[in-house]
Homo-oligomer: A and B are copies of this chain.
Amino acid sequence: MNGAESLVRTLVASDVDICFANPGTSEMHFVAALDHVPGIRCVLGLAEGVVTGAADGYARIAGKPAATLLHLGPGLANGLSNIHNARKANSPMVNVIGEHATYHLQYDAPLTADIEGLARPLSHWIGYARSAGDVARLGAEAVAAARSNAGQIAALILPADTAWDAAPAGAAARIEPPARPKVDEAAIRAGAAALKRGGANAMLLLGGAALYGRALRLAGRIQAATGCRLSGQGANARIERGPDLPDVGRIPFVVDQAVAYLKPVAELVLLGARNPVAFFAYPGKPSLLAAADCTLTEVAVIEADLEDALERLADALAAPKDFTLPPKPALPAMPSGGVTLDGIAAVVARLLPDNAILADESVTSGRGIFGALAGGVRHDWLQNMGGSIGYSMPVAVGAALAAPDRKVVSLTGDGSAFYTLQALWSMARENLNITAVVFANRRYAILRNELSNVGAANPGPRAIDMLTLDRPNPDWVKLAEGHGVAAERAVDLDGFAAALGRALAERGPRLIELVF
């Protein structure tokens, strides 16, 4: 058994069952090992932003890390921005990065780069194999590191000779990460007291694993007992929503709206969430969003056992186990006519199939969708927590592979979609059950607002040019078809509803370009 095979067998033993890859020469033994060793599905991405974004999406839905296979420093570099997003979302990920053979490094061949240096700013754990005998142990440690705390980024650097040399000891056994620490009793008591004090003016701000599964249901008990508001952060890795689940709000992106959202909150109780901050600084606007006289109580950091914290908090509040959820808002009526942002939201909210997964990067175009879906079917809502655009379509790829029986909907602005449009090809190759909606307003619309928000008034034609995707207008139908994905264009809400209905009714990938 060579080092590469010892690594693949170790990954399988560690419950890693998928590898997103764009390999090169230095990774050929790993690729070959995937053929000899069953247990890992290997999915090709045509650029590394697809590869790492897909690993993020897979982790969010599967609840465990995927592996990636990246080609030396530049392959890692291309994947870094979606690693950044995954890191901010606490998605576990095991990045296997090929490297020149140890003895070849001294010659500074063209692809030589400081891989550890490139990995360090965005990785929680870095391992560098010095010999084939190292590889299996490091592989097991990498998976354990990825699964530690709330989910981490592990980087395993694999020189080519450590992959091709013999590894007589073979695979390594799975290493269990430490259990999530339980919060101490004082924090539970402080949280309960704050929620009681605040009543309807308290907000339980949830993050990480508190936003889905049994944890979220426990938050509903707490709300029933205290009347507090429940909210996620501005961006959240995964919020579970549906008729039988408590409705969780979100902090708006726009600073003034965020301040207004938090203004009534006298008691802000953090559970897996952080003190809310503005996405960007703006001249004359605050960085911290909570009211100046709001009391903050941190019950649990995101690394803690959030389900346990919620259960003890509910018990401390003597919260009822049977309770009625507050009524949900009605779904908006199906709209018609020209494209409006409310209309977009209503179409998506009315047509979304039960148990869908939404990877939302709709930016300005889709700001109404989350609210419109409050009274909708059950779904998971995934967001970009790192702010690096080009996250949605790759994340949809990974989510669809993690949940092949669910419809995945990627909602993305055209500016964002361009970053990782190669994800469409992976959707086609793997025949993934994804509907991708591209909101083609042909501009970085958010930046038009931001120009005035930062006080750069009266932009001239050259500034406007930098924020505009026209001249020429992209044709997303052709871009999708060029990647092997069927597509159609809509220019009004009726056309959008018809196209979305068709796409959602079908199994497999399909893209809709909504031009407005």
- By a beta-carbon cutoff of 8 Å, the part of chain A in contact with chain B is 21, 23-26, 28-29, 31-32, 34-36, 42, 44, 46-47, 49, 73-75, 77-78, 80-81, 84-85, 88, 100-101, 103-104, 107-111, 113-114, 117-118, 120-122, 160-161, 164, 234-235, 274, 277-281, 283, 287-288, 384-388, 390, 415, 418-419, 421-422, 425, 428-429, 446-447, 450-451, 453-456, 459-463, 465-467, 469, 471-479, 481-484
A28 lies within 8 A of B472 (CB): no
A28, A80, A85, A451 interface centre (most CB from chain B within 10 Å): A28
Identify A472's interface contact among B21, B287, B429, CB under 8 A: B429
A21, A78, A455, A462 interface centre (most CB from chain B within 10 Å): A78
- Residues on B with beta carbons closer than 8 Å to the beta carbon of A35: 459-463
- 7 smallest beta-carbon distances between A and B, as pairs: A472-B484, A74-B388, A35-B460, A479-B482, A101-B281, A478-B482, A104-B281
A44 lies within 8 A of B481 (CB): no
Query: Taking A84-B73, A120-B117 as contacts, is the C-beta distance between A283 and B454 under 8 angstroms?
Result: no
- Residues on B with beta carbons closer than 8 Å to the beta carbon of A26: 280
Identify A81's interface contact among B46, B77, B122, B454, CB under 8 A: B77
Q: How far is the CB of A448 from chain B (nearest CB, A)?
A: 10
Q: How far is the CB of A33 from chain B (nearest CB, A)?
A: 8
- Residues on B with beta carbons closer than 8 Å to the beta carbon of A279: 109-111
- Residues on B with beta carbons closer than 8 Å to the beta carbon of A415: 46
A34 lies within 8 A of B120 (CB): no
- Measured in the bound complex, the distance between the Cα atoms of B388 and A46 in whole Å is 13
- Measured in the bound complex, the distance between the Cα atoms of B377 and A16 in whole Å is 55
- Measured in the bound complex, the distance between the Cα atoms of B453 and A26 in whole Å is 11
- Residues on B with beta carbons closer than 8 Å to the beta carbon of A75: 81, 388
Between A and B, 17 residue pairs with Cβ closer than 8 Å are A21-B466, A25-B447, A25-B454, A42-B462, A47-B419, A74-B81, A74-B84, A77-B388, A78-B78, A104-B281, A107-B287, A108-B277, A114-B121, A164-B455, A421-B422, A472-B483, A475-B482
A459, A462, A482 interface centre (most CB from chain B within 10 Å): A482
- Measured in the bound complex, the distance between the Cα atoms of B115 and A123 in whole Å is 14
- Residues on B with beta carbons closer than 8 Å to the beta carbon of A36: 460
Q: Which residue of B lies closest to A115 (CB)?
A: B121
- Measured in the bound complex, the distance between the Cα atoms of B296 and A265 in whole Å is 75
Identify A471's interface contact among B78, B81, B429, B446, CB under 8 A: B429
- Measured in the bound complex, the distance between the Cα atoms of B281 and A474 in whole Å is 42
B47 lies within 8 A of A418 (CB): yes
